[in-house]
Amino acid sequence: MIIETQALHDRATILAAAGGHPFVRHSLSPGTPARGWQRDGAVLWLLPPERGFGADAVGPAGPVLDLCATLVAEGLLRPENRLHLPRFDPALAVGRVAVAQYVDWDFHWTTVAPPEQPDEQRVVRLTDADRPALEDLVDEAFPTTTTRPGDPTVVDWYGIRSGDRVVACGADRSRGDVGFLAGLTVAPDQRGRGLGAALTAGMTRALLSRHDTVALGVYPDNVGAVRLYRRLGFTNTLHRTGIRLGSERQGPLPKGGRAGAESGRRPKAR
């Protein structure tokens, strides 16, 4: 049973327990009611209702999974809930929690402006008039993304136009007090021209004018994107494992299982 001395009752105490980590700052918005727990260096907090049911965590994977198991036993976490946890081998979940889906990803962040890129001046904030062209680009270039026009979690869309086309786009999904880039993509016939670098640099510079930290998520085997982001200053990394809880009958995935990863062309960012 979770004891009171392990409880964290608001965003400030959760942030303090996690050392003010940017991942926590991004996960929990200022002023949002929050509830968390700490144990043996692990810090875990429930997601607010508007984020869906689930939890995020930082710290050593073993104690985090122990906390997850306790919250499942208490009924505070249930099958189908989604969690973003420290990177762990699926075997570590055996005997602790049942995992129905499992995928590794990395949270990268920067606090410094990127080097200026050729064509960066072409990056603009898109308007409602651009929506048809934006939808065409996303459908063609990144059909598997969950970040789409009309998504209420998107603050703004940025892009690069060529005539009546939008040939590169990205979403500002900033949350909390951390800027966040998502859904970055370039039209297939425009790749290899540096537009991805221009888009990422331009958006990062724009978000740094409003936030002291800008972050993004990427799959670790997307080595080209990782190399680009590091070149643009995203050199801080937190290794993550995203899971969907299963029932006890399902049990954990075998080692190396990656159910839940997006299929098709590898995205540049989550």
> What's the pTM?
0.89
Cβ 102 vs Cβ 257: under 8 Å: yes
The confidence score (pLDDT) of residue 106 equals 98
Count of other CB atoms within 10 angstroms of residue 203: 28
d(CA 253, CA 259): 8
Q: Which of 54-63, 187-196, 253-262 has the lowest mean pLDDT?
A: 253-262
pLDDT: which is higher, 73 or 254: 73
d(CA 157, CA 134): 9
d(CA 206, CA 212): 11
Average pLDDT of the residues in 127-135:
96
Q: SS3 sequence, 25-66?
A: HHHCCCCCCCCEEEECCEEEEECCHHHCCEEEEECCHHHHHH
Q: Which domains does the chain have, with CATH numbers?
A: 4-109+237-245 (3.40.630), 112-212 (3.40.630.30)
User: For 91-121, how does the pLDDT look when each residue is reduced to its tens digit (9 = 90+)?
Assistant: 999 999 999 999 999 999 999 999 999 999 9
User: For 12-51, how does the pLDDT look when each residue is reduced to its tens digit (9 = 90+)?
Assistant: 999 999 999 999 999 999 998 999 999 999 999 999 887 8
Average pLDDT of the residues in 162-166:
95
Residue 160 has, within 13 A of its CA and on its CB side, a CA count of 25
pLDDT: which is higher, 187 or 249: 187
With a cut of 90, say whether residue 255 has pLDDT above it.
no
Q: Which of 170-184, 222-236, 248-262 has the lowest mean pLDDT?
A: 248-262
- Using the 8-state DSSP alphabet, how is residue 264 labeled? S
% the chain with pLDDT above 70: 90
Cβ 239 vs Cβ 219: under 8 Å: no
The confidence score (pLDDT) of residue 2 equals 54
The confidence score (pLDDT) of residue 4 equals 44
Phi first, then psi: what are they for 110, rounded to 5°? -140, 155
User: For 75-90, how does the pLDDT look when each residue is reduced to its tens digit (9 = 90+)?
Assistant: 999 999 999 999 999 9
Q: Is 160 helix (H, G, I), strand (E, B) or coil?
A: strand
